[in-house]
């Protein structure tokens, strides 16, 4: 299969309304909780991405029936907490780290054995941060020296624990809470910094008794989930590329409707405002337990900042886009406390630094972040290393470069943002498939 590469060319201005796809994190969780609920749940706004479809395919192999009345919709016929059926087939999570980590907690409480596998990129991502605390609950999960595949042993008697995460991670927290559904006693997870609370909000919406506040969640096992309809908000991480693009391309104004505004997710919004961005929120409301609103971004000259470390956990997926904003802002931007970026789909600090240097930016890597001196971008060739967020960030950089940027290895953009090229070009991007 031929590799997908892009060319991103300078743009004059960006205008229009851009409805980005549904939130990936909410879509994963909606599938899992609907599958484990008693009754029929209807999910609207579902992200039709490769990652979320992989999670749906895993649940189908485990005996869950789905209907697809239209794109972006799933009707899930829940099997109840103990209704999943084992399979001898490997369960392929594709590129979905969220899917694999959450499923490891869900499967730890089943009576059957399971094997979770992933693609080449996912197979290099660390899993001990999940498997070790799950083992404290009584789970048995074998790995390849801490890496996938994960062999989850069924029939284990799980018990609740009180666990303080060494590194803040919504995925690890969620895996422990999912295992806690099947555990005897109480499971409590404490975080060094609050992370996104999608799992907690959705468990409550599905009727599971849970107590949570920023940085702490607690539940007991042996209850039931009730079928619930879920409206998935537009994905803030997908909106991030348009927030940066609208901020840096002179004369631009973009409206992004119905974006999820979970406070544990919107650190980039605060960071861009600190840099001088003109972003306002209209029509704030709540949908399916999640705050949403329409974002309007207008061009504004940006300046460098020392990013407050308190914002880092709330924008961990948005750093590639922030690095682009910093590279064209006036002055210096300093990022610290973001070592987690080195174990994402790629080492995002190293990959962004190499790509930005290749197009003329001044950036210095540090172990847990970067120092970026803003200026003009010259254009050139960059390699995304198969990382969807890196590819889309350099598509944004091409809008304000002096020459075009060729972005290599963009196939994985479909994991989180199907239709990105068409949607971006519809509001003024100059993005094309490279020959």
Which residues are catalytically annotated?
A: 317
DSSP string, 390-425: HHHHHHHHGGGSSS-EEEE--GGGGGT-TTHHHHHH
Q: Is 203 exposed, middle or buried (0-12, 13-18, 19+ CB in 10 A)?
A: buried
Residues 6+ apart with CB under 8 A from 144: none
CA distances from 372 to 274, 334, 336, 368 (A): 16, 6, 12, 13
Name 217's bridge partners: 189, 212
Q: Token match 């940085």: residue?
A: 215
Q: How far is CA 173 from the centre of its chain?
A: 15
Residues 239, 245, 247: CA angle, nearest 5 degrees: 105
User: What single DSSP character describes residue 21?
Assistant: P
Residue 324, number of CB atoms within 10 A of its CB: 30
């Amino acid at each position: 299969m031929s590799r997908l590469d892009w060319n991103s060319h300078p743009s004059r201005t960006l205008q229009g309304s851009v409805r980005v796809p549904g939130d990936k994190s909410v879509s994963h969780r909606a599938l899992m909780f609907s599958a484990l609920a008693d009754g029929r749940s209807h999910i609207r706004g579902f992200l039709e991405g490769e990652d979320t479809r992989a999670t749906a395919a895993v649940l189908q192999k485990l005996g869950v029936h789905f209907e697809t009345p239209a794109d972006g919709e799933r009707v899930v016929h829940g099997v109840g907490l103990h209704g999943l059926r084992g399979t001898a087939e490997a369960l392929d999570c594709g590129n979905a780290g969220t899917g694999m980590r959450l499923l490891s907690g869900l499967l730890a409480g089943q009576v059957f054995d399971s094997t979770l596998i992933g693609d080449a990129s996912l197979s290099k991502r660390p899993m001990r941060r999940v498997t070790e605390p799950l083992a404290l609950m009584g789970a048995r999960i074998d790995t390849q020296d801490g890496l996938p595949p994960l062999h989850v042993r069924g029939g284990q008697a799980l018990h609740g624990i009180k666990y303080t995460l060494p590194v803040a991670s919504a995925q690890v927290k969620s895996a422990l809470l999912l295992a806690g559904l099947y555990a005897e006693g109480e499971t409590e997870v404490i975080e060094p910094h609050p992370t996104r609370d999608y799992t907690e909000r959705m468990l409550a919406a599905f009727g599971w008794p849970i107590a949570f506040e920023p940085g702490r969640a607690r539940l007991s096992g042996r209850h039931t989930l009730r079928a619930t309809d879920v409206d998935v908000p537009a994905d803030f991480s997908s909106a991030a590329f348009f927030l940066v693009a609208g901020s840096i391309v002179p004369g631009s104004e973009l409206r992004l409707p119905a974006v999820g505004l979970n406070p544990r997710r919107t650190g980039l919004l605060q960071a861009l405002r600190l840099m001088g961005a003109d972003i306002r929120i209209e029509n704030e409301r709540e949908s399916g337990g999640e705050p949403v609103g329409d974002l309007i971004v207008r061009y504004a000259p940006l300046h460098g900042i020392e990013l407050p470390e308190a914002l880092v956990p709330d924008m961990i997926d948005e750093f590639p886009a922030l690095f682009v904003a910093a590279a064209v802002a006036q002055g210096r931007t300093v990022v610290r406390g973001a070592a987690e970026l080195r174990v994402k789909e790629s080492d995002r600090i190293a990959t962004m630094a190499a790509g930005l240097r290749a197009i003329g930016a001044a950036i210095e890597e540090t172990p847990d972040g970067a120092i970026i001196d803003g200026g003009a971008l010259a254009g050139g060739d960059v390699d995304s290393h198969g990382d969807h967020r890196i590819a889309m960030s350099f598509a944004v950089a091409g809008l304000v470069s002096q020459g075009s940027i060729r972005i290599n290895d963009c196939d994985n953009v479909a994991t989180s943002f199907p239709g990105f090229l068409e949607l971006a070009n519809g509001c003024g991007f100059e993005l094309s498939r490279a020959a």
